[in-house]
Amino acid sequence: MRISELFGKTQREIPAEADTASHQLLLRTGMVSQVAAGVYAYQPMGWRVLRKIESIIRDEMDKAGGQELSMPVLQPLGLWQETKRDQAFGKGLFTLADRRQRPLVLGPTHEEVITRMVSRNVQSYRDLPKLLYQIQVKFRDEPRPKGGLMRVREFSMKDLYSFDIDEAGLDQSYQEMLRAYQNIYDRCGLPTLLVEADSGAIGGKDSHEFMVIAQSGEEEVVYCDSCKYAANVEKAESAKEKIKAEKPLPIEEVATPGVTTIEDLAAFLEVPQSYTMKTLFYIADGELVFVVIRGDLEVNEVKLKNVLHCYELRLANEDEVTEKGIVAGSASPVGVRGVKVVADDSVTPGMNFVAGGNKPDTHIKNINYDRDFQADMVVDIALVRAGEGCPHCEGKLSVAHGIEVGHIFKLGTFFSETLDAFFIDEKGVSRPIVMGCYGIGLGRLLAATIEQNHDDKGVIWPRPIAPYQIYLCPLYREDTKVAEIAEKLYDELEAAGLEVLFDDRVESPGVKFNDADLLGIPVRVAVSPRTLEKDSVEMKKRAGKDAELVPLIGASTSLKEIVES
């Protein structure tokens, strides 16, 4: 490809709207162009990389036994109502109506469509297992699109769905996909960490995410410093700091004028925050829920949502709390009636907690679970923090930022039971198909690769997904010999099957080298009067420091070897 003909220009200035390296570099290299918030066009340079990622993914899916198919973006809303996932996705679902006012959605994922389709095609255990996938566009009306391609509203995803006769079959499909995913990330030059993930309220079983550890990542990953335990913070558990149980003391009211926060309360009474009890109010699908947790801990809203099996969860406002006769700033679970109470398992008996006094400027000391109040549920709903103990060993937990570049999920039989995808087993009994789903976002993978492979000059592409392999730049083009030899080398390199970006512009060496570095093509080849004096061209790897001379005779063969080494 001649740069003089290439559509899409490089840009020297750092775009003001971009604050992550990948977002800046995607714009500066001319790979993408923004159309709307969270909506991007890929220009030729970006599209080439995306297509390479796509072909690696396709190759690994095929090797794992996947069959490629294609499903529509347009889907009837009715199908989503059958599984109630219209509610689960909520405002994230793009909806529209056709000319007859029939409601449709733009698919954010394809479990419903594929399960319906499979139900029409699979009758017997002999039709199973099946691994079916597509690489196709998804639409999600994300509340906060950001980070360039990291979180967008329209994106290409590889989604594979597995269909098995039983759990053992699902386990096998799951392991197969796990391996295929690891191969994909390896081939893209992207180290990932496999972490346990939240499997949501739908009641799936295992779920794992592939995380790229990066400061710019919006996920938080919890990992143990001595065993293999790693989990998304949404799902992570810890061995909570134990506080020695004491003998329950008699309840005592204390005056606490003006004290409303846990910090103020602990300071006022001169006790650690872990001796206080925090109360919070949520609205779960319209119903008020009273939540109690030890004062030094925070509520993990994903865990809370899962234990409540609700679609929508938010903090309640003061009116919603007072409506139930509760004093919002000074509430205690003691004596609460007619409200669901969820207690974190940190609120165990023998703690002599301090909590609100159910009236302003008053707190109660020595509150003990069981003796003084009960909860409808005592479960782990706490957010894990760095420094807490590992739930599986004696190690300590750390927290890092990560980018989720893939998600695999044992769905079980929710979709097959809801959408009637049954098969007749060997004994003639009708059973629901056991499903799994496996997704990778292509654009986010591309962005994460840049995030992990760049320096202050630009991108450093891992070879398998580089848009071109060689950046050929004649310097001083007006020197006819340079131009002539560069043209000839360009033809030879292309004939040797290499992908060459030919900087045929009349520009200074500085401009050309800067663009070569910015675009991050693995091997740069310069032809100049100086190199020709030595009957050579100059070769420099983008990831390396030093340039070296390569003899002009046999240059295309030598360069091919260098590229492929």
**Chain positions contacting Mg ion, by CB under 5 A:** 407
* Residue 395 CA to its chain's centroid (Å): 26
List the one residue out of 215, 217, 211 whose CA is nearest residue 193. Answer: 211
CB of 259 to Mg ion, least distance (A): 40
Contact partner at residue 198 from Mg ion, ligand ATP, none, CB < 5 to 8 Å by partner kind = none
204 vs 357 by CB, closer to Mg ion? 204
Of 177-185, 260-268, 285-293, 437-445, which segment contacts ligand ATP by CB under 6 A? Answer: 437-445
Instruction: Quote the least distance from Cβ 120 to ligand ATP, whole Å.
Output: 25
Helices (H), 349-441: 414-418
CB closer to ligand ATP, 388 vs 404: 404
Contact between 333 and ligand ATP (CB under 6 A)? no
Cα dihedral 74/78/82/83 (nearest 10)? 30
Taking CB under 6 A as the criterion, the residue among 160, 184, 381, 440 binding ligand ATP is: 440
Shortest CB 300 distance to Mg ion, Å: 16
Residue number, 404 or 451, with CB nearest to Mg ion: 404
87-95: long-range contacts, CB 8 A cutoff, minimum separation 24: 87/311, 87/312, 88/200, 88/201, 88/202, 88/311, 89/140, 90/311, 90/312, 91/141, 91/143, 92/140, 92/141, 92/142, 92/143, 93/140, 93/141, 94/139, 94/140, 94/141, 94/153
CB closest to ligand ATP, residue no: 441
**Shortest CA distance to 551 belongs to which of 530, 537, 533, 565?**
537
* Candidate list 28, 305, 407, 540; residue touching ligand ATP; CB under 6 A: 407
Contacts of 65 (CB under 8 A, 6+ apart): 131, 176
Q: How far is the CB of 209 from Mg ion (least distance, A)?
A: 6
Q: Which listed option, Mg ion, ligand ATP, none, makes contact with residue 405 (CB within 5 to 8 Å by class)? A: ligand ATP
155 binds ligand ATP (CB under 6 A): yes
Nearest residue to 115 (alpha-carbon basis) of 156, 82, 73, 88: 82
Q: Binding of ligand ATP at residue 152 (CB under 6 A)?
A: yes
The least CB distance from residue 143 to Mg ion, in Å, is 15
Q: Which of residues 443-472 bind ligand ATP (CB under 6 A)?
A: 443-444
Cα–Cα distances (Å) from 34 to 38, 40, 191, 207, 437, in that order, read 8, 4, 28, 33, 30
Q: Decide the pairing of beta strands 39-42 and 547-551.
A: unpaired
Is residue 187 a contact point for ligand ATP (CB under 6 A)? no
Shortest Cβ 140–ligand ATP spacing (Å): 5
Rounded Cα gap, residues 26 and 47, in angstroms: 11
The binder of ligand ATP chosen from 220, 404, 451, 503 (CB under 6 A): 404
Do the beta carbons of residue 141 and residue 16 sit within 8 Å? no
**Footprint of ligand ATP on 91-150 (CB under 6 A):** 109, 140, 142
Which listed residue (356, 402, 406, 436) binds ligand ATP by CB under 6 A? 406
Interface positions with ligand ATP (CB under 6 A):
109, 140, 142, 151-152, 155, 157, 404-407, 439-441, 443-444
